[in-house]
Structure 1
């Protein structure tokens, strides 16, 4: 009997991917909750501030920031708008190409990022430690932690 290409697979790859998604969802929830509680920023805002803070010029083209954060251009525009409203970043036009728009981190945005990165690291370690104790997920967490790359 042929299976539909849209029917869920019962392969070990499907099961492994399901475990990976479960790990990702749990870790993302923990990170988002910790950052919001302690610093009043979301996970995407933190990641945007991180990329801007770590860039050589403290700025990135909006499209490059969208690619780094994993958002669509319209979503990154709204996100940078929120950062702008909070005083953490602003939009600037490219001097050479008036169509090019950059997101630029402010001093306050750099401070917020520096303050939040310890929380991010603590929440990440805590979430992974919790998942590592799960008999089904523990080996995957251990493999991720020891992988070279």
Structure 2
């Protein structure tokens, strides 16, 4: 394959991601003062609630930010009393973030509006022929925020 063979696909992924992130950012801004990354952390913590608190590295993987950026992000959520940090049960040297009741409630309140924003963003992507196949693929994979 030629060096530029993947460029149209990369551009489509970037364009669709930008549309979806903008839609989610707007939905969050209308309802609370959370960033997309902060909301992603709340969801990651929610998914881990039944399996024990995740380590910070798992949040780094979920949010795709540097460890120091995730630590600052968790700190902001902790200041808002949405997250708390505790020592991990398995390794007492490690610190594991966990949702507070307020964090759990906020994530629950945002689930439907964020899912709707994603659906709307995918629908609008259908106006661009280069994004139609990718938007269809995302729909097939599943776009709703996990049930709480």
Q: TM-score, normalised by structure 1?
A: 0.83
Q: With CA pairs under 8 Å and 6+ residues apart, which has the higher RCO, 1 or 2?
A: 2
Q: Who wins on radius of gyration, i.e. which is larger?
A: 1
Show the counterpart of 2:135: 141
Show the counterpart of 1:3: none
> How much has 1:58 moved relative to structure 2?
5.9
Show the counterpart of 1:115: 109
Show the counterpart of 2:65: 71
Question: What are the superposed Cα offsets for residues 72-123 of structure 1, whole Å, 9 maximum, x if unpaired?
Answer: 1111110110110111001112355343010011000000000011111010
Aligned residues: 140
Distance across 2 between alignment mates of 1:11 and 1:94:
46
Q: CA contact under 8 A between 2:53 and 2:88: conserved in structure 1? A: no
Distance across 2 between alignment mates of 1:123 and 1:58:
30
Unmatched tracts of structure 2, length 5 or more = 143-148
Over the aligned positions, Cα root-mean-square deviation in angstroms equals 2.1
Unmatched tracts of structure 1, length 5 or more = 1-8
> How much has 1:147 moved relative to structure 2?
5.4
